Amino acid sequence: MLSYGLWDFEWEVRVMLDLELYKSEVTPTWCPGCGDYGILSAVKQALAELEIYPHEVLFVSGIGCGSKLPDYIHANGLTTLHGRALPVAQGAKLANPRMHVIAVTGDGDAYGIGGNHLLHAVRRNIDITHIVENNMVYALTKGQYSPTTARGSVTKTTPPPEGVPEDPINPLALALAAGATFVARGFAGDPKYLAWLIGRAIRHRGYALVDVLQPCVIFNRINTAKWYRERVYHLNEEPDYRPEDREWARQKAEEWGDRIPTGIFFETAGKPTYEETVSVLREREPVATRELAPLSPDEEQALLAEFA
């Protein structure tokens, strides 16, 4: 039993659906020991516990090692351009609000080229889940530094003596500052706890960020699974746990070093989702289920005239 609770820390892990339901015919090609295996396992566990069938969920990814996840799970999947998973995921959610939409991206995808989309997804509070596989390096393209690589790190694009000349992005602090309504961090080497976090993110109404510390066994020999296991701890086990307090969450988001917090940093239900604020989305049948009648010849001509 896990004493985390889907809502009140009293959730007993009981797989309601068979995990085989999500088994893909495609065999993962990630490196042995890659943290992406733990993330894939956690995603399947969360879907099974929440009784979400494959046809009820859409995975949208970008480009990168972790963005192969839609190939490795039996569910709806769409691989987009590098950095563009979030706008596509938002469009899918608006077209079919009944679909569970989960964006899966890497740290470069989400916080680098896709950083602008991240800010606006947070600002809109659209009802999607965003899982970021954060290995602090561009792994698929062979080891360049990413937006979350630590200052001073030596990579293929940041040689010695100075290494990376910039401070890394703090994705949790960034999301909190932008007004996110759900901010969490997990560890790929702790898949049961990560499954709980993902389950909570899916159940949350609004944009939900789950930043996952994901060891890369080839190009990041510093932030290894062993390194994380010696440091990570569960926030909800702390006596002063206050996930409803944004300022407390900001302070915890800055904690990094000998102790690294994982868990739900912040969650609130006080902000409406984007879908709830747009009248046409509230009052009309979703596009995905709407019967679209063909245009008459006059309607076709009138529409074409608008673009003349």
Could you read off the pLDDT of 248-304 as tens digits, one per residue? 999 999 999 999 999 999 999 989 999 999 888 877 777 777 777 888 999 999 999
In a domain, 206, yes or no: yes
Give CA separation, 302 vs 23, 293, 294, 298, in Å.
49, 16, 14, 6
Q: How many domains does the chain have?
A: 1
In a domain, 89, yes or no: yes
Domain hosting 247: range is 19-305
In a domain, 10, yes or no: no
Instruction: Say how far apart CA 260 and CA 251 lie, in whole Å.
Output: 12
Tell whether the model's pLDDT for residue 196 goes beyond 50: yes
Residue 42's CATH number: 3.40.50.970
pLDDT grade, residue 9 (50/70/90)?
A: very low
Instruction: Say how far apart CA 174 and CA 252 lie, in whole Å.
Output: 13
Tell whether the model's pLDDT for residue 1 goes beyond 90: no
In a domain, 13, yes or no: no
Tell whether the model's pLDDT for residue 217 goes beyond 60: yes
* Residue 100, token pair as written in the block: 């569970």
In a domain, 293, yes or no: yes
Segment 145-152 shows an average pLDDT of 93
Cis peptide before 243 (omega within 30 of 0): no
In a domain, 2, yes or no: no
Whole-model pTM: value is 0.90
CA atoms within 13 A on the CB side of 222: 12
Give CA separation, 5 vs 76, 113, 189, in Å.
28, 35, 20
Which residues make beta-bridge pairs with 155? 158
In a domain, 115, yes or no: yes
pLDDT grade, residue 7 (50/70/90)?
A: very low
Top-confidence residue, 10 or 201: 201
Model confidence pLDDT, tens digit, residues 55-89:
999 999 999 998 999 999 999 999 999 999 999 99
In a domain, 117, yes or no: yes
Give the sign of the dihedral formed by CA 275, CA 277, CA 282, CA 284. Answer: negative
